[in-house]
Structure 1
Amino acid sequence: ETSTIEAFTKYKNKVDPNGHFNKGKLMAGSGLENAYTPSFGLLEQESIIMEQSAIGEIADSISDCLRCGKCKPVCTTHVPRANLLYSPRNKILGTSLLIEAFLYEEQTRRGISLKHFDEFNDVADHCTVCHKCLNPCPVDIDFGDVSVAMRNFLREQGKKQFNPGTALGMAFLNAKDPATIKLMRTFMVTIGYRAQNFAHKLAKKFHLLKDKIRPPATVGKPEIKAQIIHFINRPMPKKMPTKTSRALLGIEDNSMIPVIRNPKKVTEDSEAVFYFPGCGSERLFSNVGLATQAMLYEVGAITVLPPGYLCCGYPQTSAGNHDKGQQITTDNRVLFHRVANTLNYLDIKTVIVSCGTCMDQLQKYEFEKIFPGCRLLDIHEYLMEKDMKLAGITGTKYMYHDPCHSPMKTYKPMEVTNKLMGQDVQLNDRCCGESGTFAVARPDIASQVKMRKQEELEKGMGKMGLTVGNPEEKVKILTSCPSCLQGLARYGEDTGIEADYIVVEMAKHILGDNWMQEYVERVNNGGIEKVLL
């Protein structure tokens, strides 16, 4: 519009009479040719690299950013008071500059500086892949997906920085051999968690844990000493299950499909469900997987488990190993088709999960083609449908931490939680800071994220009228994600809050304090049918 251009021209001549800033830009008769700000469109026309490599796709995925900053309030890695300023907006600015640097050096034949790859790693590391930035974004940029693409690009270029925490975690999740899993679990959980707790006590005694109160900025690669202090600043969970759920039930043979029935409750009309426990509910917090099975056993469902130890493929994909994640997904889908053919006499209409990232990944499996007419449900949604709930619980106050990857997709998480617990449960917001292997791989960034979560936990206790660190009555924070369960348990020392899973809490109150031992005994005495795959 002429009037708009004239008004802008008048203002421009007043504040920049010599035309130093973006000379000719947006003036009458001008285009973007004289604009000082580099344009992705112009760069793309200039460079073959943009067309031939993944970096062009990354550039395209962020080029629509308006720099509005609406992503900042919800971003896990944007906590200014914790010296953490990696909002999607800021990361997009940094990524744009890095891409320009890559292109400039390639076009001028100078050779790409390794420092640029280090900075690319830094940006990619500062993301928990929670995808919360997508909803407020007016142009639908999901920086979680961008971060995964960046990690994948770095891996393909051979420039992804090696991280022992990530490597060990992925090795544990990729393992399928029962002996290997047992050995790694003993080393990582039984010995590793105890060692971390011991180191935490020593560091606390010598006053080395100040950084968790006011964490330093995390720009660039941190020193090893700093990483160790950040890693031990909050203790790992102390009461960990001693074995995996499969080991306890004797169903580690990957050539057998376990089918669990309650002889006292199963009838001809009983519903058959396929339960995919995932790594967190099976290998790490086996009490979660067993509580899920125990509650399905209690409602009279016929529970089919996958043969052998399986991972859904999400951790590998989000860590930047798209090829491995795709391979796991394909192998699992083929295996589940074989399971469906083997058990064609069972009409499986529901696939149950007890983990949010498993739910996200399994939505890509096309289960409706494996078990025709089936649906995907979280265990808590399924129990709500079966009208299972607690009543008359006294002496304990509850909060609920909804995971970044919430497994409850069919019903609203708080509606499910309130109905199952038989009371109004307070929602406690913000990321717990664990995020799979994130807290082990980059404990320095996790310290910043956890500082923000601890503020939220303390605020929640304040609403309940309880003293932080020494509450007047028992306080529990419930969740529905194995990784979050570990992350939340690490705040117990500072806040006095105990972390637990909703389904585990239900099993304790409905089935009794010894529910796990009793369930294992019952199932091992004629409750499991092992069908040859």
Structure 2
Amino acid sequence: MIDPKRKIPYNYTSADDKQIIKHLFGSEFYKIIKKLDPRKDTGRSARLLYRFMGDLFIIKRNPFLFQELAEHPYLRKRLFSEFKNDLAIIENNARQEDVLIVLELCRKELSKLSRKIHAIHSDQNKILRHLSPIIGKANIYFDPFNITAHATDATDWRLYTPVAVLRPDKESQVPQLVRRIQKLGFHIIPRGAGTGLTGGATPLTSTCIMLNTEKLNRISDIEIEKDKQGNPYASIRLEAGVITQDAIDTARDRGFIFATDPTSSWACTIGGNLSENAGGKTAVLYGTAIDNVLSYKITMPDAVPCTVKRREHPLRKTLLQNTIVFDIFHPDGQLVRTVTLKGDQLRKKGLGKDVTNKTLNGLLGIQKEGCDGIITSARFILYPKFQFKKTFCIEFFGNDMTQAGQVIAAVCEAFASGTSDRGPFLMALEHFDEEYVKAIKYKTKTSVGARLIAVLLVDMVSNDQGLLKNGVKTLEALLEPFDKTGLTIAKDDQEAERYWQDRKRLGAIAAHTNAFKLNEDIVLPIGSLAGFAKFVDQYNLEEKKFNQIKIIQNIIDYLDTAIPQSDPELLQKRVGQAKDLAYRTRKKLEIASRDALEASIHAKNFFREVTDNLHGYTRVIENVSKVYEKTKARLIVIATHMHAGDGNVHVNIPVFSNDRQMMERANFTADKIMAEAVRLKGAVSGEHGIGITKIKHLDQQRLKDFFDYRQTVDPKGLMNPEKLMDQAIIEKVFTPSFNLFEIEARILKHGSLSELAGNIANCVRCGRCKPECPVFFPGKNMFFHPKNKNLSIGALIEALLYITQRTQSTGFRVLKNIEQIADHCTICHKCFIKCPVNIDSGQISVKVRDILQNMGFKHSSSATRLTLTYLSSKNKILNPVLRTSLLGLGGRAQRAATRVLSPLKKNKSLNQTNWYQLLQSPVAKPGSRTLRAFLPGTNKNQAVILDPAGTIQSTVFYFPGCGSERVFSFISMASIFLLLENHNRVILPPPYMCCGYPFLVNARKKEHDRIMLENIIILTQIRKMFEDLSFDACIVSCGTCMESLNEIDMTRIFDCSVQDISEYILKRDHTIQLNHNYLYHAPCHDSLNDNAVALLNSCCKGGAIQKIPCCCSEAGTMALSRPDISNALLERKKIAIKKETGENPIRILTNCPSCLQGLGRHRRPKLKPIHLACELAFIKGKKNWEKKFKQLLLKNKVITF
């Protein structure tokens, strides 16, 4: 059924027709359309007009579609011809004057769009001419990927796309950029990571240039100074683009606490922390960003970089009775003015946080949400780390939040202040409710009750262990009277970290509504938390009742219109019976108990009785079931989590953004929550800010004060235009909505895109994927972390759906843009581990490559094709030829060319060529011969048995894989040596078996599937041949081999686990001891499952193991297919290694053949990459281990299977 409020096609957003029409043409135009709508005859002209509006709306909002039209004149000409033809048809059929007025306005908008598309390249060149002398062309972005990534923030609300994205890499460039942008007539929005939760960085006009600070990420050394009383304190200077977690980690490594710790610390940046006045879990003890900043630099709209310094910091959180003073200095050092703030101007009396006072007496930057300037760097105070800490998990059971509210208030009161400067203090007090418990699949730690309704995590700290023990006893005594409350104390730091990891996965709450939610925060007095919890509890109960009544009503509404295939009279009789049942059920719901509403007993019974009564009407029953499920999913739920120690409550309302009724009810619910917060003497925001989502709730006087402030510092309105000005803005913005794609499902299925669309639909844009992602490296302009990629994939699918339907084309040419996104992925799956909604971007990249390959859009270099040819070949004659030509002659030629061309690396134009990028780093030397050169000759149906010299203690199967067998044969030699030395019988497969992984990631699906099938057949036959033997393990020396073997269920075939060679040996051979200092590189595909450091430390006697971060740069065949990406990864690895070692000689261990290749590309002569198996073999057999290996091979048998 067509939604009467959604007649405009190609609208894959939350906006209805009214909103779209007003957005495109204005309110007066909408009034004319509303007047004309009832007068239509056949409706054909109306449909053409609505289609035209849909055309304009999607072209303007979709950067990929806009670029497609700009770059392809034929497509542009064809579509614009159709647009004009549609308008001409409407004009020919026009019967009213108002229609002609509408058409005139439509043609004006079409002309504007045409001029904009034609002028786009000249406009971009103009920007480049003026701004590239300041920051260089490489730091100016117009491409759809970056434009899409900057059209919204974590809210996903959007209105316009930015004109360009700028990424300065020096603080000094910012004032120059501000000056030039103003002259060009554009506006500026400063932005860091885009993790904001109120739309503060969302462009609200079409003339905004985004100034992204992510490349301003330098961290200076920690400095120790003394205040006027002689008290020492530490501080750290950070540029605005520093990721908050990096600042926290830097401080922690030196024994300090960086106190600004928002939940999004993994991604958010320092500039954003200050402009929002961020808090976090430690704010209960240390306050928010304004409490902890010592000084900062900010470039104002007049392009003047000012320095703001705080006077006489008290080395603690600002209290209500305190007065704080900031001095503002001109670049020449002259004092411009002084800002004085009282404690109650910073936060309302009785509140732990409050960011509603936007003006702060004219203090620049802080709490201004990017509306007055661009913060470029800051110096923060660091606090000494407490010597002792305990982490607690308090679980609340029962049917309501009564006890939870009482406990939180009692705990806050009991630990309001420590007994001395040694504590005990509560450094964190974090709560989440039952909805989050369900969303993150939380595992209960105690067994006090059946229904877990809330969890409270507590960090208690002190500098005195005795005082901390007393604090623990106080907490235990405090909880004693509460019979529905369970307490668990973390045994160590590792368990404490696991407790807190649950807190970081709360984004999963939006998964069931396709990743959209209203996400608000409020602040309440501690004493009001119990009352608010009761309010939320009762509200959720009333919503359950409303939803269950709605289920009944919607089923009856459907039955009234249902048309059966037979016996309509009998159906009408049963519909009458259903109506009687509905009446009785509604009466029951009016007096239903809590338990009945919670279990939805009456609605379930109604549904069951109705469907039972409709027996024989199969299609009608199916439709009733759909109505039931759809309506049930529209339940409005308030989920809360809070920084309980300071009363900062975060309220989330998951909602289907395409369902206008649900959106309206959710917005009404949010309004009720804000009103309740105000009634309880709270504030409408404690750390998220105001942005576009809360401006209608902001006090009018504070809004006026902020407007006056902006007029003073930015009279021309350069910064963040329209932000914090329009109280109706939330009614104008919209969000993409994947669940509108149902009618286009067949198109997506045809292009194998339906699975892809479903995979990314749940992304909540939290940025947890960002810190671990190898292809997020600002230093080399790589910003391809999954959050950005998912936004672009969504926009590309939307563009494809439009072009396919509007042009009746199935060529899917626009998908060519997705190759860059797919290429920027090492398939490491690290994002999957961190993702709160379990999106595996590695699998998505593989899927995208498959789609590109099937459509003929995927590019593959000749070097990659040759390599895959070599890996797929088992031919005894061809293999040596390919190895000699590729690894031997090819490798030597590449290394020689790298040396010869090294002096030319500063040539920028040469650096852009693919052939030179292949020659920027030397490939590692392979083994002199393959493993098979040392083994007896075998055919493809023969296995080799190697027996140890002494007693056989166990039998293992060793799968060498391509990297260990063909390329770096010394890895497989070392592995076999270790196994035989430890009295293991070793069974080897036929020669040159590939695990198939290189073909999977290179979109060679047919070859991959063929290899996997062959492997299953061969390995199964080997197992049957040796069915009288019991296998201790299946051994690998490569992570991708482990993944592939697990995929074919190797554990079931051999009835034993798949293990890494080094782990297997070190757990059994306790004579091996590591006596050197090593670096350890963890592969993307880690066969040791991130346990290598602990494993190696257990056998380290006199040495040390230091894990080194970042990808090795090889990423399988990426170094061959995309050397530009690989070289950037290599540069990042070099930086990481140098940071840890300086110029000292170092041995770097790894457990991956491909990583050995990547680490071997470093030109440092003192850096020696070694596979872990080879190092263990050297320790076990000393220098002549290879000679011993050859002797051990004498006891062999060839078995035909």
Q: What TM-score results when the alignment is normalised by the length of structure 1? A: 0.86
1:398 to 1065, 1078, 1083: 1078
Asked whether the 8 Å contact 2:816–2:852 carries over to 1, the reply is: no
Task: Tell me how far apart the structure 1 counterparts of residues 994 and 910 of structure 2 sit (CA, whole Å).
Answer: 33
Asked whether the 8 Å contact 2:745–2:754 carries over to 1, the reply is: no
Q: Say if 2:916 is the partner of 1:232.
A: no
User: Equivalent residue for 2:1185?
Assistant: 515
Task: Tell me how far apart the structure 2 counterparts of residues 210 and 490 of structure 1 sit (CA, whole Å).
Answer: 19
Task: Tell me how far apart the structure 2 counterparts of residues 529 and 166 of structure 1 sit (CA, whole Å).
Answer: 36
Write out per-residue CA displacement over residues 27-57 of structure 1, whole angstroms, 9 at most, x where no aligned residue. Answer: xxxxxxxx3x332111333452124442111
Structure 1 residues 224 and 209: alpha-carbon distance in aligned structure 2, compared to 1, 3 A threshold: closer
> How do 1:14-93 residues align onto structure 2 when only pairs under 5 Å count?
15=724, 17=726, 23=731, 35=734, 37-93=735-791
Task: Tell me how far apart the structure 2 counterparts of residues 370 and 131 of structure 1 sit (CA, whole Å).
Answer: 26
User: Residue 390 of structure 1 aligns to which amino acid in structure 2?
Assistant: I
CA RMSD in angstroms, aligned pairs only: 2.5
Q: CA deviation at 1:3?
A: 2.4
User: Equivalent residue for 2:905?
Assistant: 209
> How do 1:271-282 residues align onto structure 2 when only pairs under 5 Å count?
271-282=954-965
User: Equivalent residue for 2:260?
Assistant: none
Structure 1 residues 107 and 495: alpha-carbon distance in aligned structure 2, compared to 1, 3 A threshold: farther
125-134 or 363-372: bigger deviation: 363-372
Task: Tell me how far apart the structure 2 counterparts of residues 274 and 154 of structure 1 sit (CA, whole Å).
Answer: 37
1:259 to 945, 949, 961: 945
Asked whether the 8 Å contact 2:905–2:911 carries over to 1, the reply is: no
Task: Tell me how far apart the structure 2 counterparts of residues 70 and 391 of structure 1 sit (CA, whole Å).
Answer: 38
Write out per-residue CA displacement over residues 152-200 of structure 1, whole angstroms, 9 at most, x where no aligned residue. Answer: 1111222212322221221111111122221111111111111111111
Three-state SS of the structure 2 residue aligned to 1:431 is coil
Task: Tell me how far apart the structure 1 counterparts of residues 1009 and 1099 of structure 2 sit (CA, whole Å).
Answer: 36
Write out per-residue CA displacement over residues 486-506 of structure 1, whole angstroms, 9 at most, x where no aligned residue. Answer: 111111x23621111111112
Three-state SS of the structure 2 residue aligned to 1:102 is helix
Q: Say if 2:1114 is the partner of 1:434.
A: yes
Q: CA deviation at 1:5?
A: 7.2
User: Residue 38 of structure 1 aligns to which amino acid in structure 2?
Assistant: P
User: Equivalent residue for 1:530?
Assistant: 1198
Three-state SS of the structure 1 residue aligned to 2:945 is strand
Q: CA deviation at 1:327?
A: 2.3
Structure 1 residues 379 and 521: alpha-carbon distance in aligned structure 2, compared to 1, 3 A threshold: same
Three-state SS of the structure 1 residue aligned to 2:1047 is coil
Q: CA deviation at 1:86?
A: 1.0
1:310 to 968, 993, 1002: 993
Asked whether the 8 Å contact 1:398–1:476 carries over to 2, the reply is: yes
Asked whether the 8 Å contact 2:942–2:1199 carries over to 1, the reply is: yes
Structure 1 residues 223 and 311: alpha-carbon distance in aligned structure 2, compared to 1, 3 A threshold: farther
Write out per-residue CA displacement over residues 77-119 of structure 1, whole angstroms, 9 at most, x where no aligned residue. Answer: 0101111111111111221111111111001025367762331
Q: CA deviation at 1:518?
A: 3.4
Task: Tell me how far apart the structure 1 counterparts of residues 1071 and 1159 of structure 2 sit (CA, whole Å).
Answer: 24
Write out per-residue CA displacement over residues 291-320 of structure 1, whole angstroms, 9 at most, x where no aligned residue. Answer: 000111101100000122201111211222
Write out per-residue CA displacement over residues 254-285 of structure 1, whole angstroms, 9 at most, x where no aligned residue. Answer: 232100012x3134xx2010000111000100
310-319 or 436-445: bigger deviation: 310-319
User: Equivalent residue for 2:1168?
Assistant: 498
Q: CA deviation at 1:529?
A: 0.9
Write out per-residue CA displacement over residues 214-243 of structure 1, whole angstroms, 9 at most, x where no aligned residue. Answer: xx9xxxxx99962222211111124x3121
User: Equivalent residue for 1:245?
Assistant: 931
Asked whether the 8 Å contact 2:800–2:812 carries over to 1, the reply is: no
Write out per-residue CA displacement over residues 428-450 of structure 1, whole angstroms, 9 at most, x where no aligned residue. Answer: 11110101101111000111111
User: Residue 1011 of structure 2 aligns to which amino acid in structure 1?
Assistant: I
7-16 or 348-357: bigger deviation: 7-16
User: Residue 244 of structure 1 aligns to which amino acid in structure 2?
Assistant: T
Q: CA deviation at 1:336?
A: 1.1
User: Equivalent residue for 2:678?
Assistant: none
Q: Say if 2:888 is the partner of 1:190.
A: yes
Q: Say if 2:869 is the partner of 1:171.
A: yes
Structure 1 residues 296 and 530: alpha-carbon distance in aligned structure 2, compared to 1, 3 A threshold: same
280-289 or 152-161: bigger deviation: 152-161
Three-state SS of the structure 2 residue aligned to 1:253 is coil
Task: Tell me how far apart the structure 2 counterparts of residues 157 and 446 of structure 1 sit (CA, whole Å).
Answer: 26
Asked whether the 8 Å contact 2:910–2:916 carries over to 1, the reply is: no
Asked whether the 8 Å contact 2:944–2:988 carries over to 1, the reply is: yes
Task: Tell me how far apart the structure 1 counterparts of residues 1108 and 981 of structure 2 sit (CA, whole Å).
Answer: 30
Asked whether the 8 Å contact 1:428–1:457 carries over to 2, the reply is: yes
Asked whether the 8 Å contact 1:129–1:147 carries over to 2, the reply is: yes
Asked whether the 8 Å contact 1:102–1:112 carries over to 2, the reply is: no
Asked whether the 8 Å contact 1:478–1:501 carries over to 2, the reply is: yes
Three-state SS of the structure 2 residue aligned to 1:195 is helix
Structure 1 residues 101 and 24: alpha-carbon distance in aligned structure 2, compared to 1, 3 A threshold: closer
1:419 to 1085, 1098, 1101: 1098
Q: Say if 2:1035 is the partner of 1:320.
A: no
User: Equivalent residue for 2:1141?
Assistant: 461
User: Residue 186 of structure 1 aligns to which amino acid in structure 2?
Assistant: T
Task: Tell me how far apart the structure 1 counterparts of residues 873 and 1097 of structure 2 sit (CA, whole Å).
Answer: 37
> How do 1:352-367 residues align onto structure 2 when only pairs under 5 Å count?
352-367=1035-1050
Task: Tell me how far apart the structure 2 counterparts of residues 48 and 485 of structure 1 sit (CA, whole Å).
Answer: 45
Structure 1 residues 507 and 421: alpha-carbon distance in aligned structure 2, compared to 1, 3 A threshold: farther
Q: CA deviation at 1:324?
A: 2.5
User: Equivalent residue for 1:376?
Assistant: 1058
Structure 2: 5+ residue runs without aligned partners? 1-668, 676-683, 685-693, 704-723
Structure 1 residues 48 and 532: alpha-carbon distance in aligned structure 2, compared to 1, 3 A threshold: closer
1:387 to 1045, 1069, 1078: 1069
Asked whether the 8 Å contact 2:1066–2:1072 carries over to 1, the reply is: no
User: Residue 672 of structure 2 aligns to which amino acid in structure 1?
Assistant: S
Q: CA deviation at 1:424?
A: 2.7
Asked whether the 8 Å contact 2:975–2:1173 carries over to 1, the reply is: yes
Asked whether the 8 Å contact 1:128–1:435 carries over to 2, the reply is: yes
1:338 to 1021, 1043, 1057: 1021
User: Residue 453 of structure 1 aligns to which amino acid in structure 2?
Assistant: K
Task: Tell me how far apart the structure 2 counterparts of residues 39 and 503 of structure 1 sit (CA, whole Å).
Answer: 50
Task: Tell me how far apart the structure 1 counterparts of residues 834 and 1199 of structure 2 sit (CA, whole Å).
Answer: 48
Q: What TM-score results when the alignment is normalised by the length of structure 2? A: 0.39
User: Equivalent residue for 1:3?
Assistant: 672
Q: Say if 2:1115 is the partner of 1:447.
A: no
Asked whether the 8 Å contact 1:351–1:375 carries over to 2, the reply is: yes
**Larger relative CO (CA 8 A, sep 6+): 1 or 2?**
1
User: Residue 951 of structure 2 aligns to which amino acid in structure 1?
Assistant: V
Three-state SS of the structure 1 residue aligned to 2:962 is helix
Three-state SS of the structure 1 residue aligned to 2:799 is helix
Asked whether the 8 Å contact 2:800–2:815 carries over to 1, the reply is: no
Three-state SS of the structure 2 residue aligned to 1:133 is helix
Q: CA deviation at 1:342?
A: 1.2
Task: Tell me how far apart the structure 1 counterparts of residues 768 and 1165 of structure 2 sit (CA, whole Å).
Answer: 31
